[in-house]
Amino acid sequence: MKLLEVDDLHVTVDGQKILNGLSLTIEAGEVHALMGPNGSGKSTLANVLAGRPGYQITSGTIHFKGEQLKDLKVEERAHLGLFMAFQYPVEIPGVSNMEFMKAALDAQAAAREEEPLSAIEFMKAVRKIAEELDLNPDFLKRGVNEGFSGGEKKRNEILQLLLLQPTLAVLDETDSGLDIDAIQTVSAGVNRFRNTDNGLLLITHYQRLLDYIVPDVVHVLANGRIVRSGDKGLALTLEEKGYAWLSTS
Amino acid sequence: MNVAEILNDLPRRNMAWLDSNEAAERLSASLVSGVVKEQWKYTPIKGFIEGFNSSLANPVDMPDPVVMAIDGAEQPQIELVPFNAAASEDLAYLGNVLHDGIFSERYPLADLTALTAGNGLLIRILDTPQQPLLIDFSHTGCSPVVISVAPNAHLELIETASAVGFHSEFIRIDLGEHAVLHHGRSALAIATGHWSLLQVSLAEGASYSLQSYATGAQRRRIDTQVLLRGRGARVEIDGAYLVEDGCHLDQQTIIEHEAPDTFSKQRFHGIGLGKSKTTFNGRIHIHRNAPRSDAALTNKNLALDPEAVINTKPELEIYTDDVKCSHGATVGQLSEDAIFYLRTRGLSDESARAVLATAFLKTCLHGRLAKTVEQRFLEALSMDSPGSGR
């Protein structure tokens, strides 16, 4: 089943063309990695998918689970099962992590006309995931990402991923700023999320992450479009030869 | 009816605690003084005076505040004395404290409150009571209150202003040496008009913590003055306020550091919605004989609608070198990045804004009133206001 279909997508930000005819299809059960040099448009794609204001789709289409994505509000995309792990998660003092996650779960359950988790079920679920991600339970009481280290912020994104159980997760440079141990913990969390019904789009600069989360397809983005796709071997070649190799090969 | 006519119509009662002719003269002089013009720049005082007039025209039977212990039980440590029943010792005390800044050019509405009320309530805290003391200003009308807390006594005071008609009150609190007061106060009703003056005087080693919560009203002005009179006296104030569409709130705080080693810390967070008007003025005055004073004031505001008007001004006046003093005042908007983050997790735009705005106010919410206040704020934030785009 096709989860995401991006067809000939053109996007401008502040009048500047960033994506120039990007096409990409992700099937259920697949993990795709999107690599590419700085400024190639990787994060732009993530932001367009999530619906961040200021990103103008000038032509092309995006369908998520068969629905035209640009017709949906940011929160409606989340209700439909789209999730983005932020490259720079936002700090929100005064809202505890626990309150925030319960509000998110409740909002999604209400939109899907499902019963929300009881407070006890919720606490159990959150504590279990926090433990798996090696996060001190105290951090659940703290303000969302408030005073968290870079690693804690990224683990908090994965905690939300595991709690919200979306159908498609876009991880925007989740590995940046993580040490080796943290990459392993985060990757273990992401691998627990993987199943045959959901999909993942990993945006990364480095092949290293793909040692732990093995992708089915690797894409290389340059100048706003995918210039090459291949299997995991493509990431290894890029690591060895750099992006310049693409223009010469 | 103009202000002069209203003043002429004020009753001249014969009261042992107040010379009504003197009060009326002081009032007339104050109203034309430069001090009042400056102090009431953002809130026309005339509207309040008209409120007093309608209050006099329609007197109610029970203008006194409801005062009780939290469980309603009698407490031997608390003594209630109506001003008009005060014995000579109490009258002398009342004369001293009421002329210690309340009946002055700065607060003309205090004279007006006293003249209109014709009575008041003296609350003596003789020793630490078992239960917190509750005061509710639930009636239209005017209420002068004086609370004296004995040295070393500890008191928790919960004060609410729930009247929806015009009301005014002044409260003078005297903290004896090493007395401790935890004071929660809220004014959450959209009253037709409300003026409140809180003046607290601290003796050596006394400690005062205040949580002050308010919404706007058709017209609301809250004056707070803390006099750090004794060495080592300390005050900490956390305030939160929310001013809804069409409402008005003017808050003026003054901290007088009059003795060495005194400490003050104030933090106020406020939000303006719709076409609201909010004013905050925080003055810190460090006297010449108050070395090693430590004073801090923060006032942060969010204007959630383009038409919300917020004025904020910290004022520092320092007459000695060896002090620590800081202040900061801001007016801003909600972070669009934070709104987007919450929305990607499934919260609607409206809920995301309400969550962020509540969180901003919650930083300053503590104590027994916190839950009620949070609920009131949340209700206001969840409602659409015209032209808001929220």
Q: Is the pLDDT of residue B1 over 80?
A: no
Residue B349, in any domain of the structure: no
Q: What percent of chain B is modeled with pLDDT above 70? A: 94
Asked if B197 contacts B171 with a C-beta cutoff of 8 angstroms, the reply is yes
Q: Which domain holds residue B148?
A: 3-335
CATH number attached to the domain at A2-248: 3.40.50.300
Closest CA to B234 of B180, B187, B174, B288: B180
For residue B343, give the nearest of A75, A83, A93 by CB distance: A75
Q: Which residues of B touch A83 (CB under 8 A)?
A: 344
Asked if A59 contacts A8 with a C-beta cutoff of 8 angstroms, the reply is yes
Mean pLDDT of A53-63: 96
Distance between CA B163 and CA B318 in Å, rounded? 39
| Number of cross-chain residue pairs from A and B with Cβ atoms under 8 Å apart | 74
Look at A104 and B349 and tell me if their CB atoms are within 8 Å. no
> Which pLDDT value is given to residue B386?
32
The region that residue A134 occupies, defined by phi over 0 for left and psi between -120 and 50 for alpha, beta otherwise, is left
Residue A92 in contact with partner chain B when CB distance is under 8 A: yes
Mean pLDDT of B271-299: 97
CA distance B214 to chain A (A): 19
For residue A75, give the nearest of B337, B338, B348 by CB distance: B348
Distance between CA A217 and CA A215 in Å, rounded? 5
Confidence of residue B278 (pLDDT cuts 50, 70, 90): very high
Q: Which residue has the higher pLDDT, A48 or B115?
A: A48
> Which pLDDT value is given to residue B387?
34
Confidence of residue B375 (pLDDT cuts 50, 70, 90): very high
Distance between CA B226 and CA B198 in Å, rounded? 8
For residue B363, give the nearest of A73, A74, A94 by CB distance: A94
Structure tokens belonging to residue B192: 């037709």
Burial call A75-85: b when 16+ CB within 10 Å, e when fewer: bbbbbbbbbbb
Q: Which residues of A touch B335 (CB under 8 A)?
A: 90
Distance between CA A39 and CA A235 in Å, rounded? 18
Distance between CA B313 and CA B307 in Å, rounded? 19
Q: What is the pLDDT of residues A198-219, one digit of tens each?
A: 999 999 988 889 999 999 999 9
Mean pLDDT of B41-58: 81
Q: Are strands A31-35 and B220-228 parallel, antiparallel or unpaired?
A: unpaired
Maximal CA-CA distance, chain B? 69
Q: Work out the mean pLDDT of chain B and round it to a whole number.
A: 91
Helix (H) or strand (E) segment spanning residue B375: helix B370-382
**Worst-scoring range by mean pLDDT, A11-20, B225-234, B267-276, B379-388?**
B379-388
Closest CA to A51 of A22, A16, A79: A79
Q: What is the pLDDT of residues B303-336, one digit of tens each?
A: 999 999 999 999 999 999 999 999 999 999 999 9
Distance between CA B154 and CA B206 in Å, rounded? 10
Q: What is the pLDDT of residues A179-203, one digit of tens each?
A: 888 899 999 999 999 999 999 999 9
- Structural domains in chain B (count): 1
Q: Is the pLDDT of residue B356 over 90?
A: yes
Angle subtended at Cα B138 by Cα B137 and Cα B140, rounded to the nearest 5 degrees = 95
Mind giving me the DSSP string for A111-159? HTT-PPPPHHHHHHHHHHHHHHTT--GGGGTSEETTT--HHHHHHHHHH
SS (H, E, C) B169-190: EEEEEEECCCCEEEEEEEECCC
Look at A78 and B336 and tell me if their CB atoms are within 8 Å. no
> Which pLDDT value is given to residue B36?
83
Mutate to test the interface with A, among B238, B335, B342 (most CBs of A within 10 A): B342
Q: Write down the residue that tokens 């068969």 correspond to.
A: A66
Residue B234, in any domain of the structure: yes
Look at B347 and A90 and tell me if their CB atoms are within 8 Å. no
Strand partners, B286: B257, B318
Look at B344 and A89 and tell me if their CB atoms are within 8 Å. no
Distance between CA B234 and CA B262 in Å, rounded? 6
Residue B357, in any domain of the structure: no
CA distance A47 to chain B (A): 10
Mean pLDDT of B189-216: 97
Structure tokens belonging to residue A249: 């090969």
The interface predicted TM-score (ipTM) is: 0.96
Q: Which residues of B touch A77 (CB under 8 A)?
A: 344
Asked if B288 contacts B257 with a C-beta cutoff of 8 angstroms, the reply is no
**Worst-scoring range by mean pLDDT, A133-147, B49-63, B339-353?**
B49-63
Asked if B169 contacts B141 with a C-beta cutoff of 8 angstroms, the reply is no
Q: Which residues of B touch A75 (CB under 8 A)?
A: 343-344, 346-349
Confidence of residue B388 (pLDDT cuts 50, 70, 90): very low
Q: Which residues of B touch A50 (CB under 8 A)?
A: 340, 344
Burial call B202-221: b when 16+ CB within 10 Å, e when fewer: bbbbbbbbbbbbbbbbbbbb
Distance between CA A11 and CA A59 in Å, rounded? 7
Residue B356, in any domain of the structure: no
Distance between CA A64 and CA A46 in Å, rounded? 13
Mutate to test the interface with B, among A55, A88, A90 (most CBs of B within 10 A): A90
Distance between CA B389 and CA B334 in Å, rounded? 13
Asked if B210 contacts B236 with a C-beta cutoff of 8 angstroms, the reply is yes
Residue A50 in contact with partner chain B when CB distance is under 8 A: yes
Which residues, including other chains, have CB under 8 Å from residue B102's CB and lie 6 or more apart? Answer: B110, B170, B172, B197, B199
Nearest CA in chain A to B350: A75
Residue B92, in any domain of the structure: yes
Mutate to test the interface with B, among A75, A117, A153 (most CBs of B within 10 A): A75
Nearest CA in chain B to A87: B341
> Which pLDDT value is given to residue B246?
97
Closest CA to B159 of B65, B254, B253: B65
Structural domain spans, chain A: 2-248
Mean pLDDT of B81-105: 94
